[in-house]
């Protein structure tokens, strides 16, 4: 059995906007400072760094409204994001992976199910609540790096619950007048839920939301994925940090502690 760490790449990069905010490359600094304790925490054999594709099917289902409420963080942030992704691909002992036509969530779900089936133990790092649904299909550990805790399996079908109340973060409107408490009540009362969904308009909203929220199993589509496998490049990584003047990482003692975390990874 291997321990598999699945990193939600964009989620971690956006999280790196918070924290230390000085200098031109503070997002890069926060990301690389933050990823080390996550790898240290679970001591995996393999790390996947999973990136976003274009969610064509979800945009089609929502007539282009899916995630249309997201605002750009600006050119400066996107330049740092590109720098992080490039550095991970060149220097870190991670498998960087994306599907051009599906979201990071779908790829992570596929990898989790695939590794579960061969007996591996999977750990997902993300603050995205959509991964909670995986508790119902495979054995995973979900760690929210914002709340700094592992997320337990709910007592209800998470996809159905979220389809009822919607997801404002992704611009998915729920059934009118159904919030968290009402969704809880409906999920605990099958007769009440059945009665609600007899309304054709509410049923249409619910069915659409289920299809938007449920993660897609991409097993069988691995040939369509873009995969970059990298071994640890210590000298390249240190040169990159030195160029960005990350002295708190590259000082002799700090560097030894930092790099030790990644030396055990083999990605085989």
pLDDT digits (tens, 9 = 90+) for 18-37: 988 888 999 999 999 999 99
Across the chain, what does the average pLDDT equal? 93
Domains 3-154+215-263 and 158-213 share a fold: no
Measured CA to CA in angstroms, residue 129 lies from 8, 147, 150, 185 at distances of 12, 12, 12, 20
**Rounded distance, CA 221 to CA 237, Å?**
32
For residue 19, the model assigns a pLDDT of 85
Spatial contact of 100 and 226, defined as CB atoms under 8 Å apart: yes
Q: Which residues, other chains included, contact 217 with Cβ-Cβ below 8 Å and sequence gap of 6+?
A: 106, 109, 110, 113
Six-digit token pair at 212? 């938007």
**pLDDT of residue 121 exceeding 90:** yes
pTM: 0.94
Please report, rounded to a whole number, the percentage of residues in the chain having pLDDT higher than 90.
83
Six-digit token pair at 150? 């592992």
Per mean pLDDT, which range of 162-166, 179-183, 220-224, 226-230 is the poorest?
A: 220-224
pLDDT band of 230, cuts 50, 70, 90: very high
Region 154-168: what's the mean pLDDT? 94
**pLDDT of residue 64 exceeding 90:** no
Helical spans, DSSP H, in the chain: 9-15, 26-42, 56-61, 75-91, 104-117, 158-165, 180-187, 190-196, 200-213, 234-243, 247-250, 252-263
Pick from 99, 102, 108, 11: nearest CA to 55: 102
**pLDDT of residue 65 exceeding 90:** no
pLDDT per residue as tens digits for the range 203-217: 999 999 999 999 999
Spatial contact of 50 and 7, defined as CB atoms under 8 Å apart: yes
Please give the CATH topology (third level) of the domain spanning 3-154+215-263.
Answer: Rossmann fold (3.40.50)
Instruction: Answer whether CATH 1.10.150.20 is correct for domain 158-213.
Output: yes
For residue 267, the model assigns a pLDDT of 53
pLDDT per residue as tens digits for the range 243-258: 999 999 999 889 999 9
Region 189-207: what's the mean pLDDT? 96
Between 82 and 69, the higher pLDDT residue: 82
How many Cβ atoms from other residues are within 10 Å of residue 243's Cβ? 9
For residue 115, the model assigns a pLDDT of 96
**pLDDT of residue 179 exceeding 90:** yes
Q: Measured over all CA atoms, what is the biggest interatomic distance in the chain, rounded to whole angstroms?
A: 67
Terminal Cα distance for the chain, rounded: 13
| DSSP H/E element including 49 | strand 46-50
**pLDDT of residue 87 exceeding 60:** yes
Domain residue ranges in the chain: 3-154+215-263, 158-213
């Amino acid at each position: 059995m291997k321990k598999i760490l699945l990193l939600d790449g964009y989620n971690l990069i956006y999280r790196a906007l918070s924290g230390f905010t000085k200098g031109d490359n503070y997002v890069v600094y926060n990301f690389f400072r933050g990823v080390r304790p996550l790898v240290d925490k679970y001591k995996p054999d393999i790390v996947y760094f999973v990136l976003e594709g274009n969610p064509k099917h979800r945009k089609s289902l929502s007539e282009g409204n899916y995630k249309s409420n997201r605002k750009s963080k600006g050119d400066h942030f996107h330049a740092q994001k590109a720098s992080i992704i490039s550095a991970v691909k060149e220097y870190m002992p991670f498998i960087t992976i994306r599907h051009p036509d599906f979201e990071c969530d779908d790829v992570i779900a596929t990898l989790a199910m695939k590794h579960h089936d061969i007996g591996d133990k999977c750990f997902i790092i993300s603050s995205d609540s959509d991964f909670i649904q995986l508790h119902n299909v495979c054995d995973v550990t979900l760690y929210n790096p914002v709340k700094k805790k592992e997320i337990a399996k709910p007592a209800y079908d998470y996809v159905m619950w979220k389809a009822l109340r919607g997801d404002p973060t992704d611009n998915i409107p729920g059934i009118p007048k159904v919030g968290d408490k009402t969704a809880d009540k409906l999920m605990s009362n099958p007769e009440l839920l059945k009665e609600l969904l007899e309304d054709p308009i509410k049923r249409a909203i619910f069915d659409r939301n289920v299809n938007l929220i449920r993660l897609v199993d991409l097993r069988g589509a691995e040939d369509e994925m873009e995969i970059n496998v990298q071994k640890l490049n210590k000298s390249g990584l240190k040169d990159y940090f030195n160029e960005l003047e990350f002295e708190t990482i590259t000082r002799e003692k700090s560097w030894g502690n930092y790099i030790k975390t990644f030396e055990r990874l083999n990605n085989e």
